[in-house]
Amino acid sequence: MNPVRATRLIFLLSGIGMASWAPMVPYAKARLALDDATLGLVLLCMGFGAVIAMPLAGFLSHRFGHRDVIGVSGLLVCLALPLLTLAPSVWWLGAALLFFGASLGVVDVAMNAHAVDVEKQQGRPMMSGFHGLFSVGGLAGSAGMAALLHTGSPLTGSAIAVSILLLAIVATQWRHFLVRHDDGSGEPHAPFRLPGAAVFLLGFLCMVVFLAEGAMLDWSAVFLRFSRGFEPSVAGLGYAAFSVAMAVGRLLGDRITAAFGPVNIVRFGSLIAAAGFFLATALPWGPVALLGFAMVGIGASNIVPVLFSAAGRLPRTSPSIAIATVTSLGYAGMLAGPAVIGFVAKASTLSVALAGVAGLLIVVSLCASIARR
């Protein structure tokens, strides 16, 4: 068995699967003749599916172990991806996105709970590296699908090709996943307990960091275009700077966490991210805004992996249940946060709204001791 390799590959699979949908969105819009408002509502189905399924995923992993939950949900992701290209109406597309999001949500919770057990087994920080491979998978999935479509491959055929790649990962790695790691701290089938206050605090901190990531995804290009005068063709550089900085930070994160400890990662990482938001919004120069967005990526890169690891180490709490709770709250922040930023921006300015995100990150810094080993 090689659970470390299997964990790396399932994080890669999750990133590829999620990002492969992005290049297909314009095709779905054109094929079903959707206007922007309808498309926006349909796209929410994917996030809602994930959030609804995540608590169930925690229970399933707690009850049956990680191996089969990861394997079955991984197969469902492989099945769901081609279905997105075959939906004959907006209602069927919404249903397919709910199914796709739910499958990815179960994989997300189960793979993070499994990663916590692998960390315990190996006795060293590994979570940031796993999340780094998710980021790499995201870049590879979007670029690979776009390349297939650019060569003229049929949409459904391209989705099936990606699914076959993902199926190969699931089939070859299934037996390498741990059922669960019994470190002697309790019974393998510990009784189910509702999450305690510490879990919800970790979930709140995760929500803030996901909100910051959602702000970068949905608002960085808008900010550069309308507040810093960037041309539309290059306004996406803000999110690119953020994404590359985050991927690099996560790939180096295990060494950084081992050197400085999880509390310092949360405390100073959130301060660096907050400083990036303040820098981007306070100074009226485009290059400074790009630097600020890169700082957000560097600062935020390892906070979520550290928070997931902390959730998995809480005493008298099932790691699967804790991680499911933290992940669900985090994704809720990613879903609702950009809309809240929009309302605040309408009442004031986008700069003020993004500076508010920086204020929330300072709160994360003040609560960093929750990540103590």
Q: What is the pLDDT of residue 58?
A: 82
Q: Is the model's pLDDT at 186 over the cut of 90? A: no
Confidence of residue 193 (pLDDT cuts 50, 70, 90): low
Q: In this structure, are 69 and 159 located in the same domain?
A: yes
Confidence of residue 324 (pLDDT cuts 50, 70, 90): confident
The contacts of residue 137 (CB under 8 Å, 6+ apart) are: 11, 12, 13, 14, 15, 16, 17, 19
Confidence of residue 182 (pLDDT cuts 50, 70, 90): low
Average pLDDT over residues 88-111: 93
Q: In this structure, are 202 and 172 located in the same domain?
A: no
Q: In this structure, are 317 and 269 located in the same domain?
A: yes
Q: Is 183 inside a domain boundary?
A: no
Q: Mean pLDDT over all residues of the chain? A: 88
Average pLDDT over residues 196-223: 89
Q: In this structure, are 232 and 320 located in the same domain?
A: yes
Q: Is 225 inside a domain boundary?
A: yes
For position 24, which CATH number holds? 1.20.1250.20
Question: Nearest CA to 10 among 134, 140, 183, 146?
Answer: 134
Q: Is 189 inside a domain boundary?
A: no
Q: In this structure, are 13 and 142 located in the same domain?
A: yes
Which of these ranges, 2-6, 182-186, 307-311, has the smallest mean pLDDT?
A: 182-186
Alpha helices of the chain — where are they, by DSSP H?
Answer: 3-20, 25-31, 36-64, 66-83, 90-122, 127-150, 155-173, 197-227, 237-251, 253-260, 262-282, 286-300, 303-313, 319-347, 350-366
Identity of residue 306: V
Place of tokens 């510990």: 190
Q: What is the pLDDT of residue 185?
A: 45
Q: In this structure, are 148 and 256 located in the same domain?
A: no
Q: What is the pLDDT of residue 321?
A: 86
Q: Is 165 inside a domain boundary?
A: yes
What three-state secondary structure class fits 84? coil
* Residue 149 lies in domain: 3-176
Q: How many domains does the chain have?
A: 2
Average pLDDT over residues 144-152: 86
Single residue among 109, 144, 176 that ends a domain in this structure: 176
Q: Is 68 inside a domain boundary?
A: yes
Q: Is the model's pLDDT at 77 over the cut of 90? A: yes
CB 116 within 8 A of CB 313: yes
* pLDDT tens-digit series, residues 258-299: 999 999 999 999 999 999 999 999 999 999 999 999 999 999
Average pLDDT over residues 182-199: 60
Q: Is the model's pLDDT at 221 over the cut of 70? A: yes
